[in-house]
Amino acid sequence: MDYQMTDEQRIIIDMVRKFVREEIVPLEEKLDPDAGEIDPEDHARLVEMTKNMGLYGLGIPPEFGGPEIDVTTMTLMAFEMAQHRAGLYNPCYSVFGGAGLAQLYEATDAQKEKYLYPVLRGEKGAFFGLTEPSGGSDPARAIQTRAVKDGSDWVLNGAKIFISGADRADFGILFARTDADKGRGGITCFLIDTDMPGFNVRRVVHTLRSARYATEISIEDLRVPQENVLGEVNKGFAIANDRLSRQRIPYAAGCVGVAIKAQEMAIEYCKIRETFGAPLATRQSIQWMIVDNEIDIRTARHICLEAAQKADRGESFRTEAAMAKLLGSEAGGRVVDRAMQIHGGYGMTKDLPLERWYREMRIRRIGEGPSEVQRLVMARDLIGGSFH
């Protein structure tokens, strides 16, 4: 597939590329190498810039005041948005506003007033509460958090883990089992205010990447009114599944974007670094690493765009999304690893972004479904059946 950008896409990508290189990268030079946030004043200034560019709230539908950028354009943007030190984390994506929680677009009018619109205005933050300590690869079976009807309320008990931002969120979308006998057909989605009695952030989970990456939540006799059910009772898994499949494409594209930048750095360095009287670029072992990097990058980029275009055409894209996520995270990790090797000792230092990307790429092989689950998804689609 020889993908050719439209004129509109080319304009958007040029804007994003310039924004990242002229606004984000210089800011990061003044931050701690592991920083996950930027100064609030800088953040507000950058948000105002993206709004003026018409690129704030990327996935927000026009009826809610956003541009609702298609998946293909979002993927092309992700290639560019990731090309800085914190490219797989918060700073750049947050100033573009993201899509909020897309599930809220299907909320009732009252729920939209209380939850959706404040998120779109940047007044409230939210979390997505799916993964549990019992396992996250098969959420339909792993969900053990229970919700029992008590009068006009639901009473929830359970736990969640690896939940991003719950310690700073105002509310969240939380999934609980409401029918023990129906498998994925017995899961309901609830809107949870973080100040509700019974909701507690037990701890921040210190992960490979950042101290504030994830949290563990405990839910003890949490009473939730019926009006806080999002969607229909016992149909919450469909809400989660839609998010997981579609999100995998730009998630994978971010990995490819980092790989593109790491390859650019490796090529530049191998031309100027000399060993035993000759540039590294003359060494066959280095040449092969550069070539292998390019193969990984082009293959993953191709699959990301194929998945995005199928999604935009309304075709089934589950296999392609799984393949994009698998290739993007694994190939991206290989590219960064080779780039570190080419840079030698400098590649291990925090003077360069490579070591941070290396850690973040390792996490990406787990997030949005681990590589093994992506292979299972593809096998099911290719062979058929619901085998394990």
What are the pLDDT digits (tens) for 297-323? Answer: 999 999 999 999 999 999 999 999 999
List strand residue ranges (DSSP E) for the chain, in order: 126-129, 146-150, 153-163, 171-177, 187-193, 199-205, 214-225, 229-230, 274-275, 278-279
Give the span between the Cα atoms of 95 and 45, in whole angstroms: 9
Superfamily of domain 126-230: Butyryl-CoA Dehydrogenase, subunit A, domain 2 (2.40.110.10)
Look up residue 299 and give its amino acid. T
Q: What are phi and psi of 376, to 5 degrees?
A: -65, -45
- Domains of the chain, by residue range, sit at 7-104, 126-230, 238-383
Give the chain's length: 388
- Residue 98 is predicted with a pLDDT of 57
Q: What is the mean pLDDT of the chain?
A: 89
Catalytic residue among 132, 330, 360, 368: 368
Half-sphere exposure of 130 (CA within 13 A, CB side): 20
Pairwise pLDDT comparison (262 vs 144), residue with the higher score? 262
Query: pLDDT for 18-72, tens place per residue?
Result: 999 999 999 988 888 888 778 889 888 988 898 888 888 777 777 877 777 899 9
Tell me how far the alpha carbon of residue 287 is from its chain's centroid.
32
- The three-state secondary structure class of 155 is strand
- Residue 120 is predicted with a pLDDT of 81
Residue pair 263/297 in contact (Cβ under 8 Å)? The answer is: yes
- Residue 142 is predicted with a pLDDT of 77
Q: What are phi and psi of 352, to 5 degrees?
A: -115, 155
> What is the percentage of the chain residues whose pLDDT exceeds 70?
91
- Residue 205 is predicted with a pLDDT of 86
Give the span between the Cα atoms of 105 and 94, in whole angstroms: 19
Least confident segment among 169-183, 276-290, 316-330: 169-183
Give the span between the Cα atoms of 255 and 243, in whole angstroms: 18
Residue pair 79/260 in contact (Cβ under 8 Å)? The answer is: yes
Classified by CATH at the fold level, domain 7-104 comes out as Butyryl-Coa Dehydrogenase, subunit A; domain 1 (1.10.540)
**Taking the CA atoms of the chain, what radius of gyration do you get in angstroms?**
22
Confidence label for 211 from pLDDT (cuts 50, 70 and 90): very low
Long-range contacts of 121-126 (CB under 8 A, 24+ apart): 122/47, 122/97, 124/170, 124/171, 125/165, 125/168, 125/169, 125/170, 126/100, 126/101, 126/165, 126/169, 126/170, 126/171, 126/172, 126/173
Instruction: Report the DSSP beta bridge partners of residue 155.
Output: 148, 223
Pairwise pLDDT comparison (211 vs 242), residue with the higher score? 242
How crowded is residue 221: how many other Cβ atoms within 10 Å of its Cβ?
A: 10
Inform me whether the pLDDT recorded for 239 exceeds 60.
yes
Inform me whether the pLDDT recorded for 183 exceeds 80.
no
Query: pLDDT for 257-273, tens place per residue?
Result: 999 999 999 999 999 99
- Mean pLDDT computed over 84-97: 72
Active site residue 368: yes
What lies within 8 Å, CB to CB, of 150 at 6+ separation is: 223
Residue pair 233/306 in contact (Cβ under 8 Å)? The answer is: no
Angle between helices 354-364 and 318-343 (to 10 degrees): 150
Query: Which top CATH class is 238-383?
Result: mainly alpha
